[in-house]
Amino acid sequence: MSWIDSDGRNSTQQQERVHAIGSNGTVTSDSSPSFGSNYPESIGAEPLAIAVIGPNDQRRAAAMSALAGSGGNDVREISSYPPSLDGVAKVLEQQYDVIIIDLDSDPEYALELVESVCAGGVPTVMVYSEKSDADLLVRCMRAGAREFLTVPFEPHNMAEALVRASARRPVSKSARKASGRLLTFIGAKGGSGATTLACNFAVALAQLPEQKTLLIDLDLPLGDAALNLGIVAEYSTINALQSTSRLDASFLAQLLVKHSSGVWVLAAPGKFIQYDASDEAIDRLLSVARQDFDNVVVDWGSRLDFSGSAVLKESTAIYLVTQAGIPELRNSNRLISQFFSAGGPKLEIVINRYEPRTLGVSEEHINKALTRPAQWKIPNDYAAVRRMQINATPLALTDSPISRLIKQMANAAVGQAAPVTKKKGFSLFG
């Protein structure tokens, strides 16, 4: 792959200087063709692999000098911006832990390069400039840059930035794979009670030993999980989805609110915000969340645009919340036939507000519509649910027929036996 010189000439013959900075701070150099087969296939686990990209020789040399004091890192000096962003970002993120980009030679193109590289979310991107411009700083951070360095460089600032980059780096070059359970609640119809059940299910999980649990409200734009739990969130799911280029466990933690029950919450926005999230953005959010939580509970609401995302592909279980009414059963049948007839994630059907004595539909017809028996039947207790909504006290923290079933669901989700509630027998001695 060729680069472009600072004067704009296409330069396949241009060479980059490759420097290895040793622990004693000495710099050695050799020459190798730009972006080609001579690039290392893997980076060692200990030292940082760093690329300094910038057409201006003086500023680039200053950056190299500041890096010389870091010791032990492998640094590659690239003397021009890439001619095109197509494919370059992927190569950069595969080869480097840290990419340091000169802003001043072409600020607009440099920002595009920053955003393109940050989209992968793996390397730490830093930028450097001779200007301390607040607007430029904001644009850089929005593009995904993690550090803004000013020229002339202060060696201790560079060293501290590298320490932060090292702490941010995955254990291996390929990012840590998600391992937490993904447990998704989908409503067969608006008003089925998916949000109420998702909130209480998450609270019940958080009560179990060593079960760090996160509830993500993806019922956009009008999700009300936060309202159900009585919490006020400064940031929302949309903040996370709009910032996937710099989304990692540390950034995500800043967006969360912890409920008194112990469950963490990424809430839907408090105001109406029309936002169409891409499957890639949702997948990135869920992947990062599952790296840090044992359980990630997703309230998907009654949206139907889940077929292309990790929600359908990677959920440990999908809880389809329905009711024993004709519209809900009809919708359930269509959803099951469309998305779950050919296998896929474990589907658990939850019939909410179940009242067997007053059903207008027979048990036989319910099972026929659902194509299988329901795993969970949540009794109707309108008064208890109403109290929860008024007092913002989760049902899962109380003792009732509903809470006992929700706790059973939570125990089953993590493979634990539900606690047996012993009934008190008659005794003369009390």
pLDDT digits (tens), the chain, 430 positions: 233 233 333 333 333 333 333 333 333 333 322 222 222 233 333 588 899 999 999 999 999 999 887 667 888 888 888 877 765 666 676 678 899 999 999 999 999 898 888 876 678 899 999 988 888 888 998 888 999 999 999 888 888 899 888 887 765 444 445 588 999 999 998 888 899 999 999 999 999 998 999 999 999 888 889 998 999 999 999 999 988 878 888 889 989 999 999 999 999 998 888 778 888 889 999 999 998 899 999 999 888 777 777 788 788 899 999 988 888 899 889 988 888 876 666 899 999 988 876 666 778 888 888 888 899 999 888 777 777 777 777 888 888 889 899 999 999 998 876 555 544 443 333 3
pTM over 0.75? The answer is no
Q: Same CATH topology for 3-168 and 181-413?
A: yes
Residue with tokens 């840290």: 98
What is the pLDDT at residue 61? Answer: 93
What is the pLDDT at residue 286? Answer: 93
> How far is residue 241's CA from residue 268's CA, in Å, rounded to a whole number?
11
Q: Of 271, 228, 282, 233, which Cα lies nearest the Cα of 397?
A: 228
Per DSSP, which regions of 115-155 are E strands? 124-129, 147-150
Task: Write out pLDDT tens, residues 191-212.
Answer: 888 999 999 999 999 999 989 9
What is the pLDDT at residue 359? Answer: 61
> How far is residue 253's CA from residue 240's CA, in Å, rounded to a whole number?
10
> How far is residue 413's CA from residue 427's CA, in Å, rounded to a whole number?
37
What is the pLDDT at residue 189? Answer: 87
Contact predicate 311/286, CB 8 Å = yes
Q: For the sheet with 49-53, list strands across it.
A: 27-33, 15-21, 74-78, 49-53, 98-102, 124-129, 147-150
What is the pLDDT at residue 372? Answer: 87
> How far is residue 332's CA from residue 347's CA, in Å, rounded to a whole number?
12
Which amino acid is it at 422? K
CB-based burial of residue 378 (10 Å sphere; 0-12 exposed, 13-18 middle, 19+ buried)?
Answer: buried
**End-to-end distance of the chain based on CA atoms, in angstroms?**
85
> How far is residue 28's CA from residue 17's CA, in Å, rounded to a whole number?
10
Q: Which CATH architecture has domain 181-413?
A: 3-Layer(aba) Sandwich (3.40)
Q: Which CATH architecture has domain 3-168?
A: 3-Layer(aba) Sandwich (3.40)
Q: Domain residues of the chain, as ranges?
A: 3-168, 181-413
CA 79 to chain centre: 35
> How far is residue 328's CA from residue 189's CA, in Å, rounded to a whole number?
6
CA 120 to chain centre: 13
What is the pLDDT at residue 13? Answer: 32
Contact predicate 243/274, CB 8 Å = no
Task: Write out pLDDT tens, residues 3-18.
Answer: 323 333 333 333 333 3
* Structure token pair of residue 321: 């919340």
| Cross-strand pairs, 50 | 75, 98
* Structure token pair of residue 161: 């930035």
Q: Of 9, 94, 21, 96, which Cα lies nearest the Cα of 53?
A: 96
Residue with tokens 């077929």: 307
> How far is residue 96's CA from residue 76's CA, in Å, rounded to a whole number?
9
Contact predicate 85/112, CB 8 Å = yes
